[in-house]
Amino acid sequence: MATKKTATEDAFAFAAMDPTKLTETYREFAEKGLVQSKDAYDKLKTAAEDATKTVEQTLESAQAGTVELSIKAIEAVRANADNSLTHLEALLGVKSVAELFELQSAFIRKQAEAAVDQAKDIQEAARKVADQVSKPGKDAYEKAAKNFKVG
C-alpha cells in the first residue's frame, strides 16, 4: 500500500531535482558568460588600438600641415623681402619726385596684389591641413558607428 505524503513533505520534496543537470546548466551559463566577456574584451581592445592609430595619424597630419604652412609663410616673407630690396634699388636711381611717386605707387599696388595672392594661398593650404588633420577622426567615427549600429 502506498503511503500518503503530507502537505509539508510535498512542499519540501526535491525528487525532480537532478544535481548533474544543475551542474551542466551552471557550466553552460559560465561558458556563455566567458565567451561574451572575451568578445567584449576583443571589441574594447580593437577600439582602443583604433583610437591610438587615429591619434597618431592626427598628430602626423598636424605636424606635416604645420611644416607646409610654415613653408608657405617663409615663401611669402622671402618674396616680400625680395620685392622690397628690388624696390629700394629702383628708388636709388630716381631722378625726379614724379618718378619717386610713380615707383612707390607701383610698388604698393604690386605688394597689395601679392598680399591678396599670398593670403589666398595660405588660406587654401590651411583648409587642406584642416581636412587632413580631421580625416582620421572622421574615419574612426564612421567605423565606430558601423560597428555599434543598432540593428
Q: Does residue 80 contact residue 111 with C-beta atoms inside 8 Å? A: yes
Give the 3-state secondary structure of residue 16. Answer: coil
pLDDT per position as a tens digit, 23-74 = 888 888 888 988 989 988 888 888 788 888 888 888 888 898 899 999 999 9
Query: In the 3-class helix/strand/coil scheme, how is 18-72 assigned residue by residue?
Result: CHHHHHHHHHHHHHHHHHHHHHHHHHHHHHHHHHHHHHHHHHHHHHHHHHHHHHH
pLDDT per position as a tens digit, 114-133 = 999 999 999 999 999 999 88
pLDDT per position as a tens digit, 73-108 = 999 999 999 999 999 999 999 999 999 999 999 999
List, in order, residues 6 or more apart from 80 with CB less than 8 Å away.
111, 114
Lookup result for grid cell 629700394: 88
CA distance 103 to 92: 11
pLDDT at 12: 54
| Long-range contact set of residues 120-124: C-beta below 8 Å, sequence gap at least 24 | 121/72, 121/76, 122/69, 122/72, 122/73, 122/76
